[in-house]
Structure 1
Amino acid sequence: MTSHNRRKVRLITALAVGTSLLGLAACSSGLTAAPSDSSAMSSPKAGGNLRVGIVGGSAKDSLDAHSPVTHPDQARVIQLYDTLVSYDNDHKVQMALADKVTPSADATTWTVHLRAGLKFSDGKPITAEDVLFTFKRITDPASPMATATSLATLKRDEMTAPDAQTAVFTFSAPFATFPDIAAQYAAGIVPTGYDPKKPVSSGPFVLESFSPGQQSVFVKNPNYWRAGQPYLDKVTIIDFPDDTARVNALLGGQVDAIDQLPLGQVNVVKANPAIKVLESSTGSWLPFTMRVDQEPFNDPKVRQAFRLIVDRKQMVDQVLGGHGTVGNDMYAPLDACYPNNVPQRNQDIAKAKSLLAEAGKSNLSVDLVTSSAAAGLVESAQVFAEQAKAAGVTVNVKKVDPGEFYGDQYLKRTFSQDFWFTRDYLPQTSNSGFANSPYNETHWDDKAWSDLVAKAQATTDEAARCDLIKAAQEIEFDRGGYIIWGFPNSVDAHSASVNGLTPDKSGIPLTSYGFRNAWLAQ
């Protein structure tokens, strides 16, 4: 979940900020190619059409490599475009189109070397000029794309291509997390002159047809660089805004796999020997979003009170059916710098009522806008509304369909919700924390916090960077606009005939490898 009308980039960030940048700089080869992460299943079989039901979608569905909107958009992007680097199942960076990514000693310059023999789906070589075009498109000041804020210090006019396989990126300050950004699924490499309405693929599949709000069909990319992949001849992605219809399509054999299995259906699906459940622990999160620039949430006491209303264990148990972990109003739990030492915030109704009284907001009534755009959103809204009654707060739950939820009012609502996939802290802040971030859903604009994050972004020493990140996290814990009650597991399901899908900490295991690893038993 991404740039201006729900351009969501919320996947994984994985050079873990815990990886020492100085260690990378000290290696003459920098980041180097990892072994192919092929399917753990033996003897993959070629051929077949994988039909996949994906939650959400609308007439505004997009094919744009750099501005995916909904779950189906994200799934399409991952089929069509490979990134310079990517992530393994454990949230660790690995090489993709690049076989080497090397920082300068001060991390102000990054040199990317492409694999030999890369081609787009139309047969044109993938070159450094295409890499430069891609990043210039993403950071175009007239139309910045989803990851543009993360690349704010990129000197876009000073990028160079010394040869066809080498691209050099220069930044105005040390940029410790460049590989994190280059690995985002909305940073896929596209050809010079790219037309999103006629996509040319660098990924495992090529577009055959696209009906916004309905389905998209992809066929195997004959020029894909990973030997033998993809195994499938075709992938059909079908939009399913309705959870019940999506589950019934799987049980009835109309689709072979679905994402976001409703947690209330997990045991039902597990009881069917023809169906397998794919569950992964993740760093994904489903926040409540409070606009800090609008009443009543412009008062930090009200925000603090609302965070104290939540019974987090009840949320995880009731909303997620235990398929997740308790949150503490801070995101990026898989980040090596996550402040685990901050005391767990628990429900405290008496304190919440006291804070509301001090703010002159006793017996408060608020509207909460929710949607079935992600599993658990509607259920958590309903549970929160019940919990709030004890504090004298009336929460009016307003459910809208996914298309409206991520329509013109997205980022404008006073009290709402959202979903984010796994990310480390600094890349996440670029997407949602700054005044100019594409998804600043809480309208957070805090100078002390911004200064800390900017300094952390430019700090190459791991320990010093972690200290800065922890301090920034604690500011958001104290006065931020998020209520982060838990981290849901990713729970998907597929026919037993589908092989090659494995658990993945990204939060999107069903699509994180673009189905390139999947194969069908014949």
Structure 2
Amino acid sequence: MNPLPPPIQPPERRAAPGRAAAPHEVAASPAVGAVLRSAVSRRGFMGLGAAAASLALAGCGSGSQPGAGTARATGEPQRGGTLRVGMTGGGASDSLDAHAPVVTADGGRVMGLYDRLYEFDPDYKLVPGLAESAEPRKGGREWVFRLREGVRFHDGRPLKPQDVVATFERITDPDDPKTGASALALLERTVAVDERTVRFELKEPDASLVDSIAQNSMGIVPADYDPAKPVGTGPFTLGSFEPGQVTVLKRNPDYWSEPPYVDEVHLLNFNDQDALVNALLSTQVDVVGQLPLALVDVVNTDPRLHTVLSETGNWLPFTMRVDTAPFDDARVREAFRLVVDRGQMVEQVFSGHGSVGNDMYSPFDPGTPTLPQRTRDIAKAKKLLAEAGHPDGLEVELVTAPIQSGAVEAAQVFAEQAAEAGITVKLRRVDSTTFFGDGYLKYPFSQDFWYTRNFLSQTAQGTVPGAPFNETHEADPEFRALYKKARATMDEKQRNQLIQDAQKVLHDRGGYIAWGFFNQADAYQNYVGGGFGHRIGMPVCGFHMRHLWIDQEGK
């Protein structure tokens, strides 16, 4: 078997992410609940603009302006303490299910509780996780994984190949397929070969299998897994869970790799960004995941705080259903892409902390082509609309929600830009719970957000019939054929050429307006150490929170 890289580690230390299932409530501790309710009760105390002003005042006269990039706590990592992580976007549909994460906080839970056979390192390269090696056979129709020795579940039972088999049978259950099922469409069966070997048998070659099983929704669970009482092999065990409020994760002292430094992680949900920033200012949280990008520069003037910025493949697309008027006409879709001033979008929505997109996803995939950048062209947009039967423009509804920092702002900017082409955009703003409710994936014109993924994995999740999140209802036969052929091509050079061709179809007539990619910004109190930048896209070191530690004296 080919040698493979070591398990994921932060760059500065090399020592040893279907719909969500209905959540099962586990009572939160009274102390944690009190802290959270205290923080949320302040949500109306100051607006985001006032919070920014307060942050600026905190930095005045300090003579210190910490920059972004690395954690401020110095010296040897310390063990112990409770790390409080604040985020927004949670709700009643929050889940503990290893195979059905949807919102950001779900990602924190699945990354903390479960491990995957393979993981992504900070550069978004595949590295071994619970498997120490992977080898394709029979031209990619089989993949053989060798499991690590000494791995145990939270309840003390050893990891066995039968658990891996049961995990993937659960994910691909035809009566209840989970989030990653579409990426495993070619999987015929998983076989326990011996006490440490598992073989994946496929209907046809799949070059993307390892990438697919490294996604956060592919955590390995025991054969008798119950999401109401989750057991995994991850660095943390479950302490308590209150959907939309707080999740308590406890250090797993028997973790197969280096155990976490902190004793507990509390994932705290806040109703909006104002409450989140207030909690940071009042030291009610130690880390803020997904800091509003408009506050990055201001936070860095506060001597108590610092930020870690990461370049990612995260994107906030506008989604046009290609099977629904007016977007069933490719000319209308092209016109909508042409009204966007992408540079202005990145500047206004991301405060410049991002890069322009060219209506293709997966910027880190080696197969993503470099095509001429699409730029704003109002005259051509009007011409296309007229040719499509809309000489006087048209009116559309855009459904938006605070599903991710910048989403609502992006909708507002788009509405302003589109007006110049005679397009009237009526915004229908809903809360995140409503957005991800019964109407999700049905809106003719809407938004979504995605973390970093490579092309084949992203397409399996969102851009082909049968994908769990086919928000554009994409069904282009040429695109599907190219995707299918690329997935079955083991030769990297040939596969990348097929991906280039497929990406061009997406660019020319797909249902996405992929206008930009945003940097990931996390804010840390200076007594928190171990933070690092990454391309994974998820907050707080890609939710690899076991690397974080607290300087008790600095606190």
CA contact (8 A) 1:411 1:439 kept: yes
Match for residue 200 of structure 2? 169
d(CA) in 1 for partners of 2:166, 2:387: 54
Shift of 1:36: 4.9
CA contact (8 A) 2:104 2:538 kept: no
Shift of 1:331: 0.5
Give deviations 1:321-356, integer Å, cap 9, x for gaps: 11001100000110001111x111000000001111
Match of 2:249 among 197, 200, 218: 218
Change (3 A) 1:51 1:463: same
d(CA) in 2 for partners of 1:380, 1:442: 18
Shift of 1:317: 1.1
Is residue 291 of structure 2 the alignment partner of residue 261 of structure 1? yes
Match of 2:185 among 152, 161, 164: 152
CA contact (8 A) 1:204 1:514 kept: no
d(CA) in 2 for partners of 1:30, 1:107: 18
d(CA) in 2 for partners of 1:201, 1:471: 40
CA contact (8 A) 1:201 1:221 kept: no
Is residue 455 of structure 2 the alignment partner of residue 425 of structure 1? yes
d(CA) in 2 for partners of 1:140, 1:201: 20
Match of 2:230 among 181, 187, 199: 199
Match of 1:97 among 100, 124, 130: 130
Match of 2:422 among 392, 398, 409: 392
Match for residue 184 of structure 1? 215
Is residue 378 of structure 2 the alignment partner of residue 349 of structure 1? yes
Match for residue 67 of structure 2? none
Report the count of equivalent residues. Answer: 491
Give deviations 1:215-263, integer Å, cap 9, x for gaps: 1111111321113x11110000011230111011011111111111112
CA contact (8 A) 1:232 1:520 kept: yes
Shift of 1:509: 4.2
CA contact (8 A) 1:75 1:511 kept: no
Is residue 452 of structure 2 the alignment partner of residue 446 of structure 1? no
Compute the TM-score of the two structures, normalised by the length of structure 1: 0.92
Change (3 A) 1:365 1:421: same
d(CA) in 2 for partners of 1:519, 1:84: 26
Secondary structure, aligned partner of 2:250: strand
d(CA) in 1 for partners of 2:209, 2:398: 37
Match for residue 117 of structure 1? 150
Give deviations 1:398-429, integer Å, cap 9, x for gaps: 21111111111110111100100101101100
d(CA) in 2 for partners of 1:513, 1:244: 23
d(CA) in 2 for partners of 1:34, 1:388: 47
Shift of 1:508: 1.4
Secondary structure, aligned partner of 2:302: coil
Match for residue 31 of structure 1? 4
Is residue 555 of structure 2 the alignment partner of residue 520 of structure 1? no
Change (3 A) 1:83 1:42: farther
Give the letter for the 2:372 counterpart. Answer: P
Match for residue 437 of structure 2? 407
Change (3 A) 1:31 1:383: same
Change (3 A) 1:264 1:295: same
CA contact (8 A) 2:290 2:539 kept: no
CA contact (8 A) 1:31 1:102 kept: no
Secondary structure, aligned partner of 1:356: helix
Q: CA RMSD in A?
A: 1.3
CA contact (8 A) 2:10 2:122 kept: no
Match for residue 68 of structure 2? none
Is residue 321 of structure 2 the alignment partner of residue 286 of structure 1? no
d(CA) in 1 for partners of 2:341, 2:310: 24
For structure 1, the residue ranges without an aligned partner over 5 or more in a row are 1-27
Change (3 A) 1:34 1:230: closer
Give the letter for the 1:286 counterpart. Answer: L
- Structure 1 stretch 170-179 or stretch 307-316: which is displaced more? 170-179
CA contact (8 A) 2:533 2:541 kept: no
d(CA) in 2 for partners of 1:375, 1:114: 39
Secondary structure, aligned partner of 2:482: helix
Secondary structure, aligned partner of 2:170: helix
CA contact (8 A) 1:80 1:207 kept: yes
Secondary structure, aligned partner of 2:355: strand
Give the letter for the 1:348 counterpart. Answer: D
Secondary structure, aligned partner of 1:279: strand
Give the letter for the 1:183 counterpart. Answer: A
Match of 2:305 among 260, 264, 275: 275
Secondary structure, aligned partner of 2:540: coil
Secondary structure, aligned partner of 1:146: coil
Shift of 1:132: 0.7
Give the letter for the 2:294 counterpart. Answer: G
Give the letter for the 1:64 counterpart. Answer: D
Shift of 1:151: 0.6
CA contact (8 A) 1:30 1:102 kept: no
Is residue 359 of structure 2 the alignment partner of residue 332 of structure 1? no
Give the letter for the 2:105 counterpart. Answer: P
d(CA) in 2 for partners of 1:337, 1:165: 34
Secondary structure, aligned partner of 2:283: coil
Shift of 1:160: 1.4
Change (3 A) 1:207 1:147: same
Secondary structure, aligned partner of 1:355: helix
Change (3 A) 1:392 1:70: same
d(CA) in 2 for partners of 1:497, 1:512: 20
Secondary structure, aligned partner of 1:475: helix
For structure 2, the residue ranges without an aligned partner over 5 or more in a row are 14-73
Change (3 A) 1:32 1:112: farther
Match of 1:469 among 488, 496, 499: 499
d(CA) in 1 for partners of 2:532, 2:273: 23
Give the letter for the 1:359 counterpart. Answer: A
Shift of 1:201: 2.3
Secondary structure, aligned partner of 2:306: strand
Shift of 1:501: 1.2
Give the letter for the 2:167 counterpart. Answer: T
CA contact (8 A) 1:282 1:489 kept: yes
Secondary structure, aligned partner of 2:517: strand
Is residue 167 of structure 2 the alignment partner of residue 134 of structure 1? yes
Shift of 1:511: 4.8
Give deviations 1:365-403, integer Å, cap 9, x for gaps: 111111111011111101000001100111111211111
Match for residue 319 of structure 1? 349
Give deviations 1:98-122, integer Å, cap 9, x for gaps: 1111111511111111111100010
Give the 5 Å matches for 1:290-301: 290-301=320-331
d(CA) in 1 for partners of 2:287, 2:329: 45
Match for residue 499 of structure 1? 529
Secondary structure, aligned partner of 2:133: strand
Change (3 A) 1:134 1:42: farther
